Amino acid sequence: MLSAKLLDDIVHEFLIEIFETTPDLFPPTMVSSEKIPTSYQCFRTFRRTSATRATEQGVSSSDIDVVNRLKTNERAKGKRPNVSMRQHYTQLDLLLQPFLCYTRAM
């Protein structure tokens, strides 16, 4: 099984290579490759990329909420998550379209 550190190291190595050849792909605040390891980490970068893309593509907030429900349950720390009654009584494993809408937009 891979470790998060190994994944980060591999991703950083390639991002630094990309920065040296095409720095335009990075935001203007990224003035040197030294900032890459602290700015991009597997822990949140891909999730943040996904959430940004969803907003940009105009995915509806109800679809985002359904895909995000895993996190809602996590935040509730074992208690009943604070979601609308409609969402509470929705059986997640029978839902298909919200997931497909979201992932198709990625």
Interacting residue ranges for another protein, rule: CB under 8 A:
1-2, 4, 6-7, 10-11, 14-15, 17-18, 22, 25-29, 38-54, 57, 64, 67-68, 70-71, 73-78, 93, 96, 99-100, 102-106
Euclidean distance between CA atoms 97 and 103, whole angstroms: 10
Q: How far is the CB of 83 from another protein (least distance, A)?
A: 14
Q: How far is the CB of 97 from another protein (least distance, A)?
A: 9
Q: Answer for the pair 53, 105: CB distance below 8 angstroms, yes or no.
A: yes
CA distances from 14 to 18, 36, 46, 52, 62 (A): 6, 10, 15, 22, 35
Q: How far is the CB of 89 from another protein (least distance, A)?
A: 19
Q: How far is the CB of 52 from another protein (least distance, A)?
A: 4
Torsion of CA 70, 73, 78, 80, to 10 degrees: -140
Euclidean distance between CA atoms 63 and 16, whole angstroms: 34
Cβ proximity to another protein: between 83 and 105 the closer is 105
